[in-house]
Amino acid sequence: MKSSKEIRQSFLDFFQSRAHAIVASAPIIIKDDPTLMFTNAGMNQFKDNFLGIKEPNALRIANTQKCLRVSGKHNDLEEVGHDTYHHTMFEMLGNWSFGDYYKREAIEWAWEYLTKSEGVNPEDLYATIFGGDEELGLGEDKEALEEWKKWLPEKRILRCGKKDNFWEMGDVGPCGPCSELHVDVRSPAEKEKVPGAQLVNMDHPQVIEVWNLVFMEFNKDSKGSLEQLPAKNVDTGMGLERLVMVLQGKTSNYDTDLFSPYIDFLEKEFGFQYGQNEEESVAIRVVIDHLRAVCFSIADGELPSNTGAGYVIRRILRRASRYAFQFLGITKPFIYNLVDVLVKVYDQIFPELAAQSEFIKTTIQQEEKSFLHTLARGTQLFENYLAENAGKADKQVEGKFAFKLYDTFGFPLDLTGLMAREKGWTLDVDGFNYQMGIQRDRARIASQIKTGDWVEVSPMEEFPHFTGYERSADKVHILRHRTSEANSGEIYQLVLDSTPFYPEGGGQVGDTGWLRKGDNIIQVLDTKKENDLIVHFVNELPSDASGTWVAEVDTDRRRLIKANHSATHLLHAALRQVLGTHVEQRGSLVNDKLLRFDFSHPTKLSPEEIMQIERIVNEKVAEGIKLVEHRDVPIAKAKEMGATALFGEKYGNTVRVIVFDSNYSIELCGGIHVDNTQEIRLFKIVSEGSVAAGIRRVEAYTSDGAFSFLSNKVEMMLQMKELLYNPKNPVKALRDLIDRQKKLEKKIQKLQQELAGGLKDDLLKQIKVVNGRNLLTAKVDTPSAKEMKALAFDLIRDLKNGVLVLAGNFGGKVNLIVALTKDLVKTGDLHAGDLVREIAEEVGGGGGGQVHFASAGGKNPAGIPAAFSKAEKLISK
């Protein structure tokens, strides 16, 4: 039995021997296509080749591509785990022809590979062809039918509709009719009972599609019309996991050597028994599948986060955590334990996994920890809800609450339902669905960006190239434009025949500037890449786009961007020098204001380390090192030179290498740089912190930014010095001032205590005997009512058979307190609350309180003496 490694290799060898160039998998995370977050098909990286706007590197190509189907048109997430053949992450084996061979060869080779090279029993195979579609205006794919007839009896060739046999990458873009190969792996007895032909495309787990051959000949525009592509192409995709299942004679993908190592590990280390109980088995499959997706994504640079692709990764991991929690009884992080197993499964094939295994592990562990915490919080909230609603007659958990648990804490409906049932409650599912609908509508409206089709101004004869390394202004022609409608209004986009505008990429922001033709001036607000096409975002469309335009980059802004970018390289090298060679770049941002650099390092940088790094970079700036740029270097050669490739970046066969002193900094980089490091002028780190477990972030300024940062600081210091009366040593002066302040505060506190003691003694001397009772009335001068209250409690303790009446004037507001001693309270003759209410009338206010203590407010301080007299009168009665 062949191993999965051998099977993968046999596919590549088969097509290599048929003159296909073998290329690397593109990263699973897509950075330069606004319509797609993840690679969801092998053909993604060839989109521009199909559209005819970019020459392919070879006319025949084959590879294995890491794919993720979790969003957009191709989304298998909810199926995963419940069946044995859908995955979030999977490998797609593919062969491509760009206008070279077509249906005959594609079909013949697919047949030959499966039946002759790999020995699949031809009797187990079924082919489907596109049966035609009225709406698309296309008839049956007769050509494919004829080709399949060479290999298969006609009864095993099935005609299917648009849903199964017309492949589209997205709502717009390259598409075409397809033929699929399905394999029936059921037992002979079952085959006898129901013919396989009846089960094709019926979601039967053992009659499954393995290979899709797409005959990519159309492009679909935003109105849904098909236009013929410049060439007839082939795009095939075969799921490696399913192929391995077939070739290893299994009936579930999870029984192959691509999955069984994880199951063995879980059984051995955690005592689970896969296959014994359906719920547990589903959970194990979910955990393994999702672990693969998450590891591949992290390895290509996408960490779980709260937005965009990172959020999708977070949700996948949370789905796995939740299944483990709910069905495997796991309450501690555990999924991360499987990372080492995964690394072994893909040893030598995807080296980015082994190289980053520790980092991937800690990232997953941290994420699990925080999610389990969230789950616990949600459970608590659920229990609180039940306690608060204990009297609810229908004993039904409201849909709105279930939705809150779902939305905020990631609790799926069935988990809430389960918890409710355990407590003898039901759940308002309709109410939940209603809330869900509201949210979906909101999200749909928010994301409704409709991009129109390109309008051609002049034909694209050559793929537009970038001239910005040499020039910042150039003569250009507008090739095409389009309008997209976003919530914020209309945005216009242009493609030029060549451009000096740098498109956002490699951390560097896109250029801005102008396009001029005579009196016409269009502002370029941003520049981005869509796949490899450079798109300019402009403030308006010209009424006449034809003719020659001058494209002019805003060089003031670019000067600052360049300085920040080159400084990032100098910083990277300095970090490795000071902290160690474990420092690896994890992300960067370079714009005209600052540079930001994320890198792997376990601990906070000390002030000494930061100073040392700054010193090295500034030395390199002062040295005036000249930029040495090598273009079109084969990637292997670049690595030999000492440049490190970043995981998750898409590199062509050849790369650009940027060197600032070959003993100091060598990087693969497509960005714009200074010609000489002296142009950076000055480098200053302004912040250092953590962004994720094991990842630090440094932000720094250069050039004008660094100067103004420093001069602001100096200005602030001078002002402070002046306030301190210009001491020689301002730090010492400030420290002395703080010490003095502390001492003074202590002294004041002491004095206040003494004062309060003295005050008390003075007051006690003023006691009058009225009607056989001790009465003390006094206007006090405490800082606020709070201290007056404390004083009242203090005084009343020292009185016997007495009544205390205190008054204070706090900024025009009167505060009165009446307190009775305990022995007086016992007699029941007087009530502090009644007393205070009556005397408060004299100060224009009111109040009340308990028998022994009461207070009142008033707004007439002049009435205080009258209030005291009234108190005396009341007591005399």
Chain positions contacting ligand SER, by CB under 6 A = 41-43, 94, 167, 212, 214, 235-237
Q: Which CB, 43 or 263, lies closer to ligand SER?
A: 43
- Parallel, antiparallel, or unpaired for β 498-499 and 489-496? unpaired
Closest by alpha carbon to 179, among 140, 137, 227, 213?
A: 213
Please give the structure tokens belonging to residue 660.
């600032």
Element (DSSP H or E) covering residue 433: helix 429-446
Q: Which CB, 165 or 499, lies closer to ligand SER?
A: 165
Q: Which CB, 42 or 648, lies closer to ligand SER?
A: 42
Minimum Å distance from CB 238 to ligand SER? 8
Minimum Å distance from CB 235 to ligand SER? 5
Minimum Å distance from CB 678 to ligand SER? 51
Minimum Å distance from CB 28 to ligand SER? 14
Please give the structure tokens belonging to residue 566.
């080159």
Indicate the length of the chain as a whole number: 877
Q: Are 113 and 105 in contact (CB under 8 A)?
A: no
Q: Which CB, 167 or 254, lies closer to ligand SER?
A: 167
Q: Are 337 and 267 in contact (CB under 8 A)?
A: no
Mapped onto helix, strand or coil, the DSSP state of residue 507 is coil
420-447 burial, b for 16+ CB within 10 Å, e for fewer?
Answer: beeeebebbeebbeebbeeeeeeeeeee
Q: Which CB, 213 or 658, lies closer to ligand SER?
A: 213
Minimum Å distance from CB 650 to ligand SER? 18
Q: Which CB, 62 or 284, lies closer to ligand SER?
A: 62
Minimum Å distance from CB 41 to ligand SER? 3
Dihedral sign, Cα of residue 461, residue 465, residue 467, residue 472: positive
Residue 593 main-chain phi, psi, to 5 deg: -100, -40
Q: Which CB, 27 or 863, lies closer to ligand SER?
A: 27
Minimum Å distance from CB 66 to ligand SER? 13
Helices (H) and strands (E) in the chain, counts: 25, 36
Minimum Å distance from CB 174 to ligand SER? 9
Minimum Å distance from CB 176 to ligand SER? 9
Q: Which CB, 178 or 700, lies closer to ligand SER?
A: 178
| DSSP per position, 698-760 | EEEEEHHHHHHHHHHHHHHHHHHHHHTT--SSHHHHHHHHHHHHHHHHHHHHHHHHHHHHHHH
What residues contact 755, with CB distance under 8 A and at least 6 apart? none
Mapped onto helix, strand or coil, the DSSP state of residue 211 is strand
Q: Are 122 and 181 in contact (CB under 8 A)?
A: no
Q: Which CB, 41 or 524, lies closer to ligand SER?
A: 41
Q: Which CB, 176 or 671, lies closer to ligand SER?
A: 176
Diameter over CA atoms, the chain: 125
Q: Which CB, 35 or 801, lies closer to ligand SER?
A: 35
Minimum Å distance from CB 167 to ligand SER? 5
Q: Which CB, 42 or 506, lies closer to ligand SER?
A: 42
At 344, the amino acid letter reads: K
Minimum Å distance from CB 531 to ligand SER? 16
Q: Which CB, 214 or 571, lies closer to ligand SER?
A: 214
Cα–Cα distance list, 70 to 17, 275, 315, 630, 667 (Å): 34, 26, 10, 39, 34
Minimum Å distance from CB 378 to ligand SER? 37
Q: Which CB, 67 or 427, lies closer to ligand SER?
A: 67
Minimum Å distance from CB 180 to ligand SER? 9
Minimum Å distance from CB 16 to ligand SER? 18
Q: Which CB, 25 or 212, lies closer to ligand SER?
A: 212
What residues contact 386, with CB distance under 8 A and at least 6 apart? 397, 423, 425
Residue least distant from ligand SER (Cβ): 237
Q: Are 51 and 219 in contact (CB under 8 A)?
A: yes
Residue 820 main-chain phi, psi, to 5 deg: -115, 145
Where are the alpha helices (H) located in 254-398, listed in sequence order? 260-270, 278-299, 308-327, 339-345, 351-355, 357-388
Q: Are 765 and 776 in contact (CB under 8 A)?
A: no
Report the alpha-carbon distance of residue 306 to residue 313 in Å, rounded. Answer: 9
At 336, the amino acid letter reads: Y
**Cα 697–Cα 700–Cα 702 angle in degrees, nearest 5:** 155
Could you tell me if residue 55 is left (phi over 0), alpha (psi between -120 and 50 degrees) or otherwise beta? Answer: beta
Q: Which CB, 53 or 181, lies closer to ligand SER?
A: 181
Mapped onto helix, strand or coil, the DSSP state of residue 147 is helix
Cross-strand pairs, 521: 516
At 527, the amino acid letter reads: T
Minimum Å distance from CB 233 to ligand SER? 11
Minimum Å distance from CB 152 to ligand SER? 20
